[in-house]
Every structure is written in structure tokens, then in C-alpha cells.
Amino acid sequence: MGSRIAVFGTGYLGATHAACMAELGHEVIGVDVDESKLAKLAAGEAPFFEPGLDEVLQANIDAGRLNFTSSYAEAAEFADIHFIGVATPQRRGEFAADVNFVDSVVATLAPLLTRPSVIFGKSTVPVGTAARLGAMARELSSLGDAVEVAWNPEFLREGFAVKDTLHPDRIVLGVDVMTPGRAEEAAREVYADILAEGVPFLVTDRETAELVKTAANAFLATKISFINAMAEVCEAAGADVSELADAIGYDARIGRRFLNAGIGFGGGCLPKDIRAFMARAGELGANQALTFLREVDSINMRRRTRMMEMTREVAGGSLIGARVAVLGAAFKPDSDDIRDSPALNIAGQIQLQGASVTVYDPKAIENSRTLFPTLGYAADVREACDGADITLVLTEWEEFRRLEPAYLDSIVRQRRIIDGRNCLDQAKWRGAGWEYRGVGRR
């Protein structure tokens, strides 16, 4: 018999978690305030593109284990294990995270609880949030200490969300060490099948658990900015950053993953998480500890300007009147997510320099058009490249990696390609008579 679980928030994190908990055999109710999202989910369709998620949704809806509602009262009545998976965006005009959505889940849910319950937070929050919410839940619920708040950070990557949720590298749980309750036991029940596979389960205090998530994202961001800084040096020295990454990556202490130089990181997590981390460290009086993340952020943002400048160089010094094809809009492949997407940022900068820009992406066109309605959009690669003076590859979709120069030869006006993700075979493009430029490449 599975547990009865409610998941609050049905974005990337919440929808995936809800579907995967049902897949593990639990009875799950997904809760959101957005009725249009709920309607889509109830029809077995994720409100965003994530490989494999629709299938898991549909199978578990059909099996009767997965339902959706906008009613907190219904969720409180149904479940005794609650997961918070709402967004914690960057506050407007500040580095800090906005935790209002997380707060409001607890504020709304706690008074409605009628049975001893565990609330597991999964959202990425500033350290100290879980303890604060724990006190708030106890105060707002008539059950007092029988309502616990524990933190169980999520490490899923978009594009691999289902796999990362069902087969994570590790499960981290932060509990109230002063008054330990049922949280660990509840987590062991929920994740029983995963733990049976031998996945490491780390139980710690809530503060450490919150920090594990921000530290992991800060490390990943630093790794990417490190290799992008090396790309800058390689460009200045006439060296090749891809070969450098291969060579240092063989050192097991360094590792080759997340050492791909290019236009840098974007998305709904890394950029805002490192900023929120700096802001929180400042509040705690440890601001010096994370000043290096400012540099990580600037190296990253510099990639975008650099890519615009490289395009301008290739155009002969001016982008006025140039036709630029941009292949890729999503912040990474296998996603339709364009939050803080380097690709779209660059497309916008190039357009502001006077070029006419046409963007194509296999999944992210609809979202892009809403956010950047003034850019041109195409239905496929050839339409985007029609008459192009320069072609840019800014998201490493498989479709772009596999492009053959001959496919575009007669379409473009000039055979010039810039590989913002170092994902193309430069010998092939050069061999076919194209001018090829990569990032930090000879």
C-alpha cells in the first residue's frame, strides 16, 4: 500500500514529482492555483516539454493513482505527506529569492490539516527557510508538533527530469534535529523503491539540506564559468578549449562533465540560485565567502556579449542590415524552457545592433514568441537560414549537431557559421567550404 501524497505546485519540479511518486505506486494529488495547467495535466499532458513525462502522467492517471485539484482543503483531507514544489524566483530588482509562494503553501495548508502530517519542502530556498516554515506550520495548525516541516531538495535536470526523479544520485533529507518526528520514516516509505536500489540517503539538519542544494548549483555554475574563462584565455592565446577540457577532464578529481565552454549557463535555476545564495550569505554576515560567485556570474554574462561581438566581427564589423539565422532558443536542448536563455539574449542583442534575426528551435518557438515578439521566427532550419549572412548555433539540439553543410549550402547567402556550443564538427564545416567559428577554439 503506497502513501497518500499531495504535491503543491505543478511546474517542472512539482508536476514531475507528482507523476513520479504515482509511478512509485503512491496515491498522489497535484495542487496548483493555475486552472489551465491543471486541466492540461488532468488530460495527461505536461504544460511544458519534458521527454517521457507525458507517458508517466497518462499511465498513472489511467491507473487512478494521480489526480489534480486547485483545492487545498481537498489535498489536506486526502494526504498526510505533503511536498512543496513551487517556484522561488529572483525578486524584482534584487538578488534575493522570493519565497512568497512557498510561504503561502504552508500558510494555506497548515490550518486545514486534520491529521499528523509531514510537509517536505523541495523548492530551492534560502537557508533558514525550513526552520521558519516549521515554526509557522506549528503555530497555524491546531495539531501543533504533529505537523513537521522537513527539507528534501530536488536535483533534477530539465530534459532528464523523470529519470533524475526515479533514479537520483542521492536523496538528501533535512529534519528538525531538536524535535525529530516522523519525517525520516515518512521519507523512507515514500522513497522505499529508490532506496532499495542502493541510492545514498543522507539525513541531516534542515539548514545543511537547504545548503546542499545551493552549494551544488553554485559548484556547477562555477565549473561552467571556469571553462568559459579558459575559453577567453584560449582565444587570446590561440589555443583550443575543447581539447583543454578533454585533457584536464581525464583527471578524475576534475572530471569532464560540465566543462563545455560556450555561451554559458541560463535557465530557471543556476543564474537565480547563485544570486540568491550571495544575497543570503550577506544577510547572514558571511558575504565575503561568496564574492567569487559575482565573478562566476560576470564571466557567464560576458559570454553573451562576446557572442554578439563575434557575430559582428564575422559580419565585417557591423551588423546593420545583416541577416542572421539563430538555431536554438531554449536554454538547453530537450527543453522548451527559455527562462534566462543565453540564446535568446544573444538573438536580442544582435537584433539591437541592426541585424535582421530569424530564430528556429525545435520546441521553444511558442514560448520565445511570447517573450520576444519582435524577433523573427521560422518553422524549420532551412526557413531560418534562408538568405542568411551568418548562421549561429546557440542550443545544442541533436537536430543541429547532425546538420550537413550541403543541406544549407544553397539556402544561405554566405557560408558562415558560429558554433556557440562547440557542438559541431569543425573539420566537416571547414572542409565543406564554410567559415567556422567556435568558442575558445583555434
| Catalytic sites, residue numbers | 269
Cβ 100 to ligand UDX, closest distance in Å?
A: 20
Cβ 293 to ligand UDX, closest distance in Å?
A: 15
Q: Could you say which of 30, 121, 134, 266 contacts ligand UDX (CB under 6 A)?
A: 266
Return the number of the residue (21 or 423) whose C-beta is nearest ligand UDX.
Answer: 423
Q: Is 266 flagged in the annotation as binding?
A: yes
Return the number of the residue (226 or 377) whose C-beta is nearest ligand UDX.
Answer: 226
Cβ 220 to ligand UDX, closest distance in Å?
A: 5
Amino acid identity of residue 357, one-letter, is V
Q: Could you say which of 270, 365, 384, 418 contacts ligand UDX (CB under 6 A)?
A: 270
Q: Could you say which of 48, 95, 120, 155 contacts ligand UDX (CB under 6 A)?
A: 155
Whether 309 and 352 have beta carbons less than 8 Å apart is answered as no
- The residues that bridge with 31 in the sheet, in sequence order, are 8, 69
267 in contact with ligand UDX (CB under 6 A): yes
Q: Which whole-number Å values give the CA distances from 7 to 70, 96, 103, 294, in the listed order?
A: 11, 25, 15, 34
Which grid cell is 239? 589555443
121 in contact with ligand UDX (CB under 6 A): no
Whether 323 and 356 have beta carbons less than 8 Å apart is answered as yes
Whether 422 and 242 have beta carbons less than 8 Å apart is answered as yes
Closest CA to 365 of 355, 378, 352: 378
Which grid cell is 221? 555554475
Q: Is 416 flagged in the annotation as binding?
A: no
Whether 8 and 105 have beta carbons less than 8 Å apart is answered as yes
269 in contact with ligand UDX (CB under 6 A): yes
Q: Is 363 flagged in the annotation as binding?
A: no
Q: Could you say which of 117, 152, 165, 260 contacts ligand UDX (CB under 6 A)?
A: 260
CB-side neighbour CA atoms (13 Å) of 67: 13
Q: Is 80 flagged in the annotation as binding?
A: no
Looking at residues 229 to 258 of the shown chain, list those that interact with ligand UDX (rule: CB under 6 A). Answer: 258
Looking at residues 158 to 217 of the shown chain, list those that interact with ligand UDX (rule: CB under 6 A). Answer: 158, 217
Which grid cell is 8? 503543491
Helix (H, G, I), strand (E, B) or coil at 91: coil
Q: Could you say which of 30, 264, 376, 405 contacts ligand UDX (CB under 6 A)?
A: 264
68 in contact with ligand UDX (CB under 6 A): no
Whether 300 and 229 have beta carbons less than 8 Å apart is answered as no
Interatomic CA distance for residues 68 and 55, integer angstroms: 16
Q: Is 332 flagged in the annotation as binding?
A: yes
DSSP code per residue over 20-70: HHHHTT-EEEEE-S-HHHHHHHHTT--SS--TTHHHHHHHHHHTT-EEEES
Binding site for ligand UDX (CB under 6 A): 154-158, 217, 220, 224, 258-260, 262, 264-267, 269-270, 331-332
Q: Residues marked as binding for substrate?
A: 155-158, 213, 258-262, 266, 332
Binding-site positions: 32, 37, 88, 124, 155-158, 213, 258-262, 266, 272, 332, 339
Annotated binding-site ranges for NAD(+): 32, 37, 88, 124, 158, 272, 339
